[in-house]
Homo-oligomer: A and B are copies of this chain.
Amino acid sequence: VDIRVSKPFILLANCEVYYDGRAKSSLVPGDYLIIRKGDGTLLIHGGSKFNPLNYQPSGAILRKEGNKLISTRKRETITIIIHSIMWYREPVEWSENKIEISRTEYDLKLQIIRDIKELTGDRTIKEVTPEFKTPYGPIDVVAITETNLFHIIEVKRGKSTLSSCAQLERYLNYFKEINTPTKGWLMSPDISKGAVQYAANRSIEWRKVLFEV
């Protein structure tokens, strides 16, 4: 079988793989599934687990040297030494459509902005800004009251964790530096125990928010 590096292909081969770049890895000889897409993406999958064993994201360039396949991208290199080919296929058509997805953090954010006064219990809110920019990163939602109190809201689509608390606190620190009074909020469907503890110690409040759809 002749592998064409100019075409997308799907290949099951007995091979070994070496990677060098940000990290360095080697994969002992075995039968693996090798996928090469039109945009340069290279995936080497083993017989279990979600993640490919080795890979290169879109933009990689593939070449052939004897029984070696070499893929390079931004100073990273994958070398596949092929011992034998079980089968090889070039898809005639391979669609590039995207999925349409809902129940993302963005959707939850819209709900929160709509219900902001009920959720915070603050009827004096006069302005709500999503993606509020600060030098310490963009804040999911900022709601400003008539008396210029800033509600700083971090939204999570899943569980709020210690890491969410730290993220929120980082934003709060910015407003502390510019002497602006704030109230910090976590809003999400769930929260971890550690986050509850941490939030309590720093007067951060959590509001449970569920997806409506």
Which residues from chain A sit less than 8 Å from chain B, CB to CB? 8, 10, 12, 17, 19, 22-28, 30-33, 35, 37-39, 41, 43, 45-50, 53-55, 57-58, 86-87, 89, 91-104, 135-137, 157-158, 162-163, 165-167, 169-170, 173, 177, 194, 197-198, 201-202, 213
Contacts and interface: CB of A to CB of B under 8 A. Distances in A.
A1 B177 CA distance: 67
A59 B123 CA distance: 48
A31 B53 CA distance: 25
Contacts of A50: 41, 43, 55, 57-58
12 contacts: A24-B102, A25-B99, A25-B101, A25-B102, A26-B100, A37-B48, A38-B47, A48-B58, A50-B55, A50-B57, A54-B99, A137-B194
Contacts of A10: 10, 12, 33
Contacts of A33: 10, 35, 91, 94
**What is the oligomeric copy number?**
2
Nearest to A48: B39
A41 B35 contact: no
Contacts of A213: 24
Contact of A47 (B37, B99, B102, B163): B37
A98 B53 contact: yes
Given A27-B99, A31-B93, A38-B47, 10 more contacts: A19-B99, A23-B101, A23-B157, A27-B97, A39-B48, A46-B95, A46-B96, A136-B162, A136-B198, A177-B201
